[in-house]
Amino acid sequence: MIKKCLFPVAGYGTRFLPATKSMPKEMLPVVNKPLVQYGVEEAIEAGLTEIGLVTGRGKRAIADHFDVSYELEHQINGTSKEQFLSSIREVMSKATFSMTRQQEMRGLGDAILNGRRLIGDEPFGVVLSDDLCMSEEQGVLAQMVQLYKQFRCSIVAIQEVPEDQISKFGVIAGEKLKDGIFQVTDMIEKPPAEEAPSNLAIIGRYILTPDIFEIIENTEPGKNGEVQLTDALLTQAKSGCVLAYKFKGTRFDCGSVDGFVEATNHVYNNYYLKGKA
Ligand code: UTP
């Protein structure tokens, strides 16, 4: 039912400089796979196999990662090293990749609006691949697709965060519909802790209905002069319905050094050492 998934990957990744000076942050490897591949694998697991990448200058490595590397393939063909390519080969056989460019980094809302031509008039997923989500059972996006089937409206993934972290996130207020599911009544991008309406923070997984594009077009730049997806979602919540879903699993902020190191240890201990990576 939902087939497409947008990956805004145009950001500068300033929190990870100098590593991200010439290398996209989304290509930083957690153990042996780049962040963006984890995100694409999660989308494929959820049945979203038409991947749209919103890229920018200096991000060619991402497009190349999802394409054949003839020299490399030729070199290691038939050797024991071929096994190291199996996960990316599987991804490439299951998904298609389209790209568009965001010319100026005008915020996440603007990046998503840039993806409009790749999406058209249908609901779609959004993955911010610097948020690495790991789950023992079903992936986070797959959990959200299930919820979409029931409610048919935009959904944001949320998690509880400690007070001193709140100002780093978009934060929601909502009416509880069921355990872990809220109908959004308010949303604020990166509020000071004392102004936050709750401790429920939005993380980088969304299902969006296509009316969001027109709403973004009519959304003025907000915090930091950027077109904020949070502002557009609040408009959508007020005129219709947006759900917030407390997902099952663990999220690592791999856009920050601390989160990245935590994620690396987690994947190394729980997947790589156990032969699951
Ligand atoms: P972030 O704010 O986490 O990414 O945006 P950033 O700007 O690259 O990182 P820092 O803060 O400078 O370290 C969340 C996601 O949205 C994308 C980013 O690539 C990231 O995946 N994004 C953000 C865009 O594609 N375009 C934008 O204009 C802004």
Percent of the chain exceeding pLDDT 70 equals: 100
Phi, psi (degrees; rounded to nearest 5) at 59: -115, 15
Which pLDDT does position 276 carry in this prediction? 81
| Number of structural domains found in the chain | 1
Print the domain residue range for 78.
Answer: 4-272
Report the b/e string of 66-101 with b at 16+ CB within 10 A: beeeeeeeeeeeeeeeeeeeeebeebbeebebebbe
Any domain includes 233: yes
CB 45 within 8 A of CB 54: no
- For the chain, helix (H) and strand (E) counts, in that order, are 10, 13
Ligand 1 center to 12 CA (angstroms):
6
User: What's the pTM?
Assistant: 0.95
Any domain includes 31: yes
pLDDT, tens digit, 9 for 90 and up, residues 25-36 = 999 999 999 999
Mean pLDDT rounded to a whole number for the chain: 95
Any domain includes 277: no
Question: Measuring from atom 14 of ligand 1, which residue has the nearest CA?
Answer: 128
Any domain includes 63: yes
pLDDT at 277 over 80: no
Question: Measuring from atom 27 of ligand 1, which residue has the nearest CA?
Answer: 107
Any domain includes 79: yes
Any domain includes 206: yes
Ligand 1 center to 105 CA (angstroms):
8
CB 10 within 8 A of CB 111: yes
CB 199 within 8 A of CB 209: no
Ligand 1 center to 100 CA (angstroms):
16
pLDDT at 37 over 90: yes
Which of 130, 206, 253, 258 most suits a substitution to test ligand 1, by most atoms within 8 Å of the C-beta?
Answer: 130
pLDDT, tens digit, 9 for 90 and up, residues 52-105 = 999 998 899 999 999 998 898 889 988 999 888 889 999 999 999 999 999 999
Which CATH number is 48's domain given? 3.90.550.10
The number of the ligand 1 atom at minimal distance from the alpha carbon of 226 is 28
Any domain includes 228: yes
Token pair of 159 as six digits? 């998690």
pLDDT at 124 over 90: yes
Alpha helix positions (H), 5-49:
35-45
Ligand 1 center to 25 CA (angstroms):
9
Pocket of ligand 1 (CB under 6 A): 8-15, 25, 54, 102, 105-108, 110-111, 128, 130, 255
